[in-house]
Amino acid sequence: MLFKISLSGIKARWKDYLVLFSGMIITTAIFYMFEAISTNDKFTTGSPVGQSAKFVFIFGSILLAIITLVYVFYANNFLMSMRKHDYGLFMMLGAKSGVISKLIILETIAIGFISTIAGIVVGIGFTKVLSSFLASQIHMSLTDFSAFYMPAVWMTIIMFLVLFMIAGFLNARTFVKTSALQLLRSGQQSDWKQPKAIRLWIQAVLGVLLLAGGYYAMYDIRKLKLMAVGIGLVTIVLGTYFVFNSFFVMLLQGLQYSKMNAKGLNSFTLAQLKFRIRDYTKILSVVSLLFALALGAITVGTGFQSMVPKLAQGNGYYSVALTNPSSKLKSLVGDIKDKSTVTYQQKVDPKAKRVYYNADQLQAQPLKYSKFTDRAALKSRVSTATVSDLKKTDSNAYQELWSLQSPITKSFQIKIVHANTFNRINVKANKLLLVRANNVDASAPTLTKITNIQAKQYGSSGTQLMAGSFVTYQLLKGIFGSLEFMGIFLGIAFLAMLASCLMFKILSGAASDKIRFDMLNKIGTRRSTLKHSIILQIFGLFTIPGILGIIDVVFGLQMFSRGGLLVGGAYQTFGVTTAGFLILYLLYFMVTVMIYSRIVVPKTKVEK
Amino acid sequence: MTTKIVETQDLHKIYDKNSAKPYEALKGISLSVEQGEFVGIMGASGSGKTTLLNILATLDQPTSGSVEIDGQDVTHLTFNQMADFRSKKLGFIFQDFNLLETLTARENIGLPLSLQNAKAASIQTAVTSAAEKLGIADLLDKYPTQLSGGQKQRVAAARALVFNPSIIFGDEPTGALDSTNARELLDTLTHINQQGVSILLVTHDPFSASFCKRILFIKDGKIGDEIDAGDKSRNDFYQEILEKLGTFEQ
């Protein structure tokens, strides 16, 4: 009987349950998606850096599991805030606590089971879409990869069922320990206390100092080495917590003393925000740290990727070299925009194993070569080769010319001779066409076609010996491509999780906020003013951890650029990735505002 | 000549009008409250008194009939106009205080003025003066959780008074108070009324009602009876209310 009643309770609040379910399904889907990628051997062993990638995935998995735990905890709180009243009533009417416990455990596990199964299905879809999208973005092939992966399914089911079982027992315990009366009234209680000024000051100073210390540690990675990561982790976590618990509260308090406070609903908005931030300290700290991790992961991932053209072009000035190009190859070269080309004549003497070049020609249209001036910063200089440079076999100019030889002549010696001597050599002259694509990324598809034709021409053994820096580009792409893939993937997963967490925490407070908004409505607050206040409050809760997260990343990237991991500076993709990241974050913000408003803004009673 | 603060004509309110079982909560109520009056509305649960109060307070609109408050017809206002009207003309005191626990007493009292975008300095003056009238000037910087029930209700009363409303609506304002605090609040309301503020009190408590000057009894959505305190002592009026209730609810 009670089971039936409790089922009807769910029916009555199906809209709230819909929010709960959609959140749970998305969390499960993200977890599955992550597991499917990280535990999938086909994927990790198939890529050049698969093994080291796997390690990072495992690390990410653990982080994701921790945040999932937090998430389930909040979602569960939301669930309980909906059910407390009903169950309190049952107990008031004489239901035994044992029966209630069973019901609660059953309900929690049932919700967990349904959302886990649905989440896995959605997760498979997510994995398929996201993996193929990312692969196409970074020109990577995922031939062996399948979105459905049984070990990941099991992993997800076990993880979530265990979590929900724990949650169910915890819930049951809460009910057995609290009296029916308290349960009935739980929605009306408020535990707001004005924090003490001295404590606020101490925490604010400590928080800022800890953050500064952590940032410095990451900056000084050259001296501190691995210690920097450890120090950074501890000080930033603690610092973030204290800053939320005090610094922002004080900031809001400052605003409250200003004239602004007396305008419209500002006093209410500021007070709510201040109350919220202290109440939300833990979740906001987690959100801010996750935000940093997510944004950091994406930035580092794309940073690796953007290194590739610079690394490749620093290694060699010309992208491809074509010996006696066919008309098809010529037309492909014609397709490349923004390029410079040069053609030299060469004569090959296979017996003496020599390749001859005309000195006059090399003087008239000199060869260019590039050389790293600062390898750590990925800075290279382009120079013009003189004939005397080209005669020295240990010079950079000679190396460049050597690298541009076809696989057949790679082992031959290069000889620069006068025009007369060159003309006297009784062999048919070859044409060597050198092509420099200034934008390698944009020309990659065409250049790939060219190298594919060449690979066929010279056979597979010649591939490694192929001329030009584009081969290096392709090689590096393969290595860093999976790093980028992983970075973006991790980033999106973290973002989705942290934003859902924040959303739930805000929504789970909506029921008790409703009373406040009702009162404001009664004393004559316009609905637009109420909505404005809601937007400001939620905006504050989203922005503050976001700002701190971005600052974390700005300093965290120091570790990569100064530590030499991300050559050429980690900041070049920072702007773009942050912008993209913020758009996703903004979407979550808007959804939260919408759902929250729907719950708390009083509906007009006009019914004629 | 006295002016009418509230006047209703033949108010009807039907819930679920288009359903199979429409419910008529108000069945043609006409009443008026004059400037400076202290009127009580009594009735059992389900008699329609909350519906009536919601309509008078522009929180709800009638199905038919008209409501004029301070000379303005409020039955055809938009949602925003209703909100603005409430913020300028109507003071409220509720049973459960309805204070915002995250704001100090001062901020709670000043909130209606902030909503009207009054200047910070004039808000301060108005808040201090309202607080002095209610004897809570020394509590202004405390939070609701630091106040007793009676103090909270006086803060709520100060909030209702702060912008000099045309009328104050009380919805069982003593419902959550003990007898001493209830008595104190009623004395305060009488005091406010004597200064010329009109009050309309909805209650089912005869003791609270005995502080009013005139009482309307509602039953099944209609005004069933009306009694006037006239020159009677409060005690005599209280007895009269009890007798009336005894016969009226039969």
**Nearest CA of chain A to the CA of B226: how many Å?**
28
> Helix, strand, or coil here: B28?
strand
Flag if B102 and A272 touch (Cβ within 8 Å): yes
The CATH number of the structural domain formed by B4-96+167-248 is: 3.40.50.300
Quote the CA–CA distance of A246 and A141 in Å, as a whole number. Answer: 49
Angstrom distances, CA of residue A275 to CA of A83, A192, B102: 24, 7, 7
* Closest A-chain CA to B97: A519
For B87-97, what is the mean pLDDT? 83
Name the E strands within chain B. 4-15, 23-34, 38-42, 64-69, 72-73, 90-94, 167-171, 198-203, 214-219, 222-228
Mean pLDDT over residues B23-33, rounded? 90
Q: Do A519 and B60 touch (CB under 8 A)?
A: no
Segment A253-263 shows an average pLDDT of: 80
What per-residue confidence (pLDDT) applies to A179? 67
What digits encode the pLDDT tens for the residues A286-303? 778 777 777 777 777 777
Decide if A428 touches B, using CB distance below 8 A.
no
Residue A2 near chain B (CB below 8 Å): no
Of A555, A503, A561, A475, the residue nearest A47 (C-alpha):
A475
Q: How far is B44 from chain A (nearest CA, A)?
A: 23
A267 vs B110: CB contact, 8 Å cut-off?
yes
What is the rounded average pLDDT for all residues in chain A? 79
Contact at CB, A605 and B92, closer than 8 angstroms = no
Of the pLDDT bands very low, low, confident and very high (cuts 50, 70, 90), residue A607 is: very low
Residues of chain B with C-beta less than 8 angstroms from the C-beta of A192? 101-102, 143, 145
**Which residues on A lie below 8 Å from B98 (Cβ)?**
515, 519, 522
CB spacing of B114 vs A262 below 8 angstroms: yes
Cα–Cα dist A476/A308, whole Å = 6
Angstrom distance (rounded) from CA A356 to CA A320: 20
B79 CB neighbours in chain A (<8 A) are 526-527, 604, 606
Q: What confidence tens digit (pLDDT) does each residue in A564-580 have? A: 565 555 666 777 778 88
- What's the gap in Å between the CA of B232 and the closest CA on chain A? 35
Question: B-contacting residues of A 496-535, CB under 8 Å?
Answer: 515-516, 519, 521-529
Q: What six digits make up the tokens of B187?
A: 């004395």
What is the spatial distance between Cα A221 and Cα A231, in angstroms, rounded to a whole number? 11
Does an H or E element contain A415, and which? strand A413-417
- Tens-place pLDDT, residues A33-52: 878 877 766 555 554 445 55
Please state the domain extents for chain B: 4-96+167-248
Chain A: residue whose CA lies nearest to B114: A264
For A360, the token pair is 């006059």
Rg (CA), chain A: 32
Task: Tell me phi and psi for residue A153, to 5 degrees.
Answer: -60, -50
Average pLDDT, integer, range B169-177? 85
pLDDT-wise least confident of A323-332, A509-518, B212-221: A509-518
Report the residue from A271, A528, A604 with minimal CB separation from B102. Answer: A271
A424 touches chain B (CB under 8 A): no
Question: pLDDT tier at B145 (50, 70, 90 boundaries)?
Answer: confident
ipTM over 0.90: no
Residues A192, B103: C-beta atoms closer than 8 Å: no
Residue B38 has pLDDT above 90, yes or no: yes
